[in-house]
Structure 1
Amino acid sequence: MATRAPDLPRGRTIIHRPSLGLLSLFLATFCIGTTEFVIAGLLPEISRDLTLTIPTAGYLVTAYALGVAVGGPIISMLTSRFPRKPMILLLMGIFVAGHLFGALATNYLMLMTARIVISFSHGSFFGLALVIAASLVSEERRGRAGALVFAGITVANVLGAPGGTAIGNALGWRATFWIIAGIACLAALFMARSLPDDSARHERSNLRDQVRVLGRQMVFTSFLMMGLLTVAVFTTFTYIAPSLIDVTRVAPDMIAWILLGFGVGATVGVFLGGRLADIAPGRTLIAGLLLQSLAFVALFALNRSPLAMVVLLPIWGCVNFMSGQILQARVLKGAAAAPELASTLISSMFNFGIAGGATLGAVTLTSGLGYAQLPLVGAGIAIANTALAIVVTQLDRKALVPPSAAPESA
């Protein structure tokens, strides 16, 4: 339970470890991450229940990603003056309401509306959660507090999405929506009980400075590579469940276990990318994108072998998330002088990429190509991204040569 340290100024509250406040934020981000990623595994169930084609159902992914990407920054700017605790509880309330409405949806329009409502709450939640997490602990523990909040996403990849898919296959996709809503209610209750009402106000950089750093080479090229990376991944991953069923001939009840392998690989990639970003970010980025290209080729060549897909999907997840983690670090390094807007736009750019990938996959399928050809589309994008990474890494080296490296003059 939260306890107040006696000597802290301005009523500062420190939550002793383990912090219920931080754990409540972790649980909330787990719900948000699960609802974003689980939809890929539920597409076959949703398409059958609502009498949709798979490509049409895939636009649920597109709409959600666009809602996060566009709605998040807008809502964050509009609500920045409101107290943090009521605001984050309101966002979680909207998230729950969207799931209840979605679970009761009787047609595609209702479900699409629910997904858009949920995405708007998702889009503005993360930045606010990180600020609150930092206010709960002493300064030297803020990094770990933020890491715990973000860990909700990786755990959602490992457990939430595969678990939600398994529940959807066993009990119907609506059961997954009901359960996510229930866990989110629990997270909101924990936040209401544990988060302080007097969170310290976050000091923001000047808005002009925040916009200005977006024009730095290291920042805007990172966003471009993020977009390309995510488009490449989600052109294939959005339709991974029907691809495994129709092309690889995997039994539907095995999909959740295969996606679990992808999630484990993704989690390893996040931590591996974070570590390598501090050691050799440029070389690691190029290697990661090159490995991603090779993984796409392997997915195409071996997509009729269940054993090969079981092995390849964790490797693919690892190199995808490793590269993404390095690009995030690159953005924050380039925008260090005024990182607030840039850090918010990281989520937006990834979700623009998700929307673009889902749309490109749907267009590819409706053009007459099949699920088996989707990895080739991703491979082409990944190869182009690798070439771009080589160029910008050289630009980084030239731009970051310190003045002390030049010959000294009298």
Structure 2
Amino acid sequence: MPIAIYMLGLAVFAQGTSEFMLSGLVPGIARDLHVSVPAAGALTSAFAVGMIVGAPLTAVLSLRWPRRRALLVFLTVFMIVHVAGAVTTGFGVLLAARVAGALANAGFLAVGLATATAMAGPGATGRAASVLLSGITLACVAGVPAGAVLGQVWGWRSAFWAVAVVSVPAVVAVARAVPPTPPDAAVPDARRELLALRRPRLLVTLLLGALVNGATFCTFTYLAPVVTDVGGYGRQWVPVLLALFGLGSFAGVSIGGRMADRRPMWLLVPGGLALLAGWIVFGAAAGNAAAVFVLVFVQGTLSFAVGSTLIARALYAAADAPSLGGSFATAAFNVGATAGPLLGGVAIGAGLGYRSPLWVSALLVALAFTVAVPALAALRAGRAGRRTPSPQDAAL
């Protein structure tokens, strides 16, 4: 992999830390800015909505920019709004900064996926995507716990400053390592690419990715009360188990990167079945501390192995939309990250207890299989009646 792809992964690490770090900072923000805890919690929802809307919007707006310029603009805006968030005394400014940061994050990730897959070359899309997604998983392992520690020691503003500081070397690295768009490169055509993104195979893959990611973040969001109120762990174990889930997710992304390009179905079918079984077992055994410790790692691994492979296959399915394909994959990823926790919250609010997000995760993966089997069968039947499939199509 070219070194520039790893530099993009560094930037994604900073952005992933920003996206998830508020879970440990909300009480301090509410106290300091004189708002309620639910109001401060809306900062997380605002970021998620900004990611969903921002991915396709910023990709279209920056379609004719050279990719290096687009990456630098998005990353610089992301850094500036974190400085603004760190110094503000008004909740409205902080909320606006979160939305602006999400838009910049979405634009960077969408363009970054397109840039990384282009630099990696044919047949290496999965590996390139896994490097960028590993930035998100490492944020779960190291960035989010570090942000929580900074918030406890120096206040929530220090975490915003830390994200801005980490973004500085990423800006320099992108400026130096990412090549400019070749002068003879084809000018992107938004209309043609949008038409290409309407293909059924791509839409099915994006839906499956959203469902699997929804299952992942449904449980991840409520993992702390699951392991304490159901699993019997003390609160001091929560960072350890969150980091264990993050280590599993990093392992899963690494596995997905190796399998997604050549043998995706070897991972998606058995991995998906194992993921479904794992959520069912987790739901049944959540009261056993030893089982929880093992399953947190196993489910983190399976979730991101299957999820990252689906993202890579979405990029293959969007090969005729190289500039906008990454934006749709980013949006689908964040639709799941938004819907999953909302569904888990509904289950808890209905009085079903803290074990219920595990069952919601199982239902979402089961729904993915319910969608996938007939949809892929229909796609294969339609393709067989039209023409010989390409190697990429055949892999699906």
TM range (shorter): 0.7 to 0.9
Deviation at 1:277, TM superposition (A): 3.5
Q: How far off is 1:360 after superposition?
A: 2.3
Q: Which moved more, 1:70-79 or 1:143-152?
A: 143-152
227, 241, 245: which one aligns with 2:224: 241
**Secondary structure in 1 matching 2:355:** helix
Q: Bigger CA drift: 381-390 or 185-194? A: 185-194
2:393 alignment partner in structure 1: none
**2:310 is matched with which residue?**
327
Q: Distance in 1 between matches of 2:233 and 2:303?
A: 23
Q: Distance in 1 between matches of 2:374 and 2:304?
A: 21
Change (3 A) 1:53 1:384: farther
Counterpart of 1:102 (choices 79, 85, 92) is 85
Which structure 2 residues correspond to residues 324-363 of structure 1 after superposition, within 5 A? Answer: 324-363=307-346
1:35 equivalenced with 2:13 (yes/no) = no
- Residues 334-374 of structure 1 show CA distances to partners (whole Å, capped at 9, x for unaligned) of 33333432332000111111111232233333344432222
Distance 1:102 1:298, change over 3 A: farther
Tell me the equivalent position of 2:392. none
Note if contact 1:62-1:354 (Cα within 8 Å) is conserved in structure 2.
Answer: no
The residue number in structure 2 matching 1:6 is none
Does the aligned pair in 2 maintain the 1:40–1:239 contact within 8 Å? no
Deviation at 1:315, TM superposition (A): 0.8
Query: CA, structure 1 residues 195+294, in 2 after alignment: closer, same or farther (shift >3 Å)?
Result: closer
Q: By how many angstroms is 1:211 displaced?
A: 2.3
Provide the alpha-carbon RMSD of the alignment.
3.5
1:224 aligned residue = 207
Letter in 1 for 2:330: S
Task: Work out whether residues 89 and 191 of structure 1, in 8 Å CA contact, stay in contact via their aligned partners in 2.
Answer: yes
Cα separation, 2, equivalents of 1:404 and 1:105? 59
* TM superposition shift of 1:397: 3.6
Measured in 2, the distance between the counterparts of 1:384 and 1:261 equals 27
Assess if the C-alpha contact under 8 Å between 1:62 and 1:358 holds in 2. Answer: no
- Cα distance in 2 for partners of 1:283, 1:289 equals 10
**Cα contact 1:236–1:378 (8 A) shared by 2:** yes
TM-score (norm 2): 0.82
The runs of 5 or more residues in structure 1 that have no matched partner are: 1-16, 406-410
Q: 1:286 aligns with which of 260, 269, 280?
A: 269
Give me the identity figure in percent. Answer: 32
Judge which range, 372-381 or 278-287, deviates more.
Answer: 278-287
Compared with structure 1, are the counterparts of its residues 322 and 392 closer, same or farther at alpha carbon in structure 2 (3 Å cutoff)?
farther
Q: Are the equivalent residues in 2 in contact too, given 1:62–1:359 (CA < 8 A)?
A: no
- CA–CA distance in 1 between the matches of 2:206 and 2:129? 22
Whether the 8 Å contact between 1:41 and 1:256 is mirrored in structure 2 is no
Larger radius of gyration: 1
Unaligned runs of 5+ in 2: 390-396
> 1:274: which partner in 2?
257
Deviation track 1:77-116 (CA, whole Å, cap 9, x = no partner) reads 2233345444433322221232233334557544433321
Q: Give the letter aligned to residue 194 of structure 2.
A: V
Residues in 2 aligned to 1:147 and 1:324: alpha-carbon distance in whole angstroms: 10
Partner of 2:97: 114
| Aligned partner (choices 210, 215, 226) of residue 193 of structure 2 | 210
TM norm structure 1: 0.79
The equivalent position to 1:258 in structure 2, one of 224, 241, 246, is 241
Aligned: 1:379 with 2:387: no
Opposite residue 294 of structure 2, the aligned amino acid is V
Residue of structure 2 equivalent to 1:200: 182
Aligned residues between the structures? 386
CA distance in 1, matches of 2:330, 2:225: 27
Mapped partners of 1:176, 1:368: distance in 2: 34
Residues 315, 73 of structure 1: alpha-carbon distance in 2 compared, 3 angstrom cutoff: same
Q: How far apart are the structure 2 equivalents of 1:57 and 1:207?
A: 37
- 1:179 CA displacement: 1.2
